[in-house]
Each structure stands twice: as C-alpha cells, then as structure tokens.
Amino acid sequence: MGNILFLSGVMLTIGLKSSLQFFTKRTNFKGTISFGVGFFFVVIGWPILGMILESYGFVVLFSGFWPTLAVFVQKIPVLGWVFQQPYIRSVCFSLTVIAANGCLYNLSLFWEVQGSA
C-alpha cells in the first residue's frame, strides 16, 4: 500500500510525464529496477528482502537530492545547530559522497553553502 501511495504521490507532485521521464532516465535505471524488484518481492511475500531492495532503490533514485536536503536541514533553527557540529557535518558529507555515487557537481554546491553558513 505504501509503495503505491509513494508512486502516486510522485506522479501527482511532478506530473505523469515528468515521473515517467524521471524513472526511465538512463542514470536512474539501477534505482528504478531495484525499487521495482523490491516491490515485486513484497507482493509475493518476501517483505524483508523487498524492503531492503526498495530502500536501496530509493537512495539511488534520489541521490542527487541529498545535498539539497543536507543544506535544508542545516537551516532549521534547532536541528540545524546539531547538524552543523563538526563530527555530524563530516558524517553527513560522507553520506552525501556515498549517495552521490560519483556526481561531484552536486557536492560543489553543497560545499559552497557549507562554507557560507
């Protein structure tokens, strides 16, 4: 049920055409296939394996968004202070590098905002 709501929410938010373009983009194939296979495993009764695959697919699909999310979280009044601490900042940066999967152009924007904060 949650998977269907997630997909319908994406489609209602950005539109059907943009959703299809997003999920069928060549750079997103690994995430789309992982999410789809995970959904299939959940439907046939293997929920643990399915949820692991869906989680991996979700992270891969939205890996370009993680730097933007990190900057947003740092601007939240109380929570931002926690995420601006040196140790947590380095952990967030490491996760961003891992999630970006080699897309360093996203990290340059992340560092520019980090430096100005």
The confidence score (pLDDT) of residue 53 equals 92
Which residue, 63, 47, 53, 61, is CA-closest to 98? 63
Say if pTM beats, i.e. exceeds, 0.85: no
Any idea where the domains of the chain sit in the sequence?
2-61, 64-116
> Average pLDDT in the 105-117 region?
47
The residue written with tokens 């789809």 in the block is: 36
Which residue, 97, 93, 77, 100, is CA-closest to 27? 100
The confidence score (pLDDT) of residue 107 equals 45
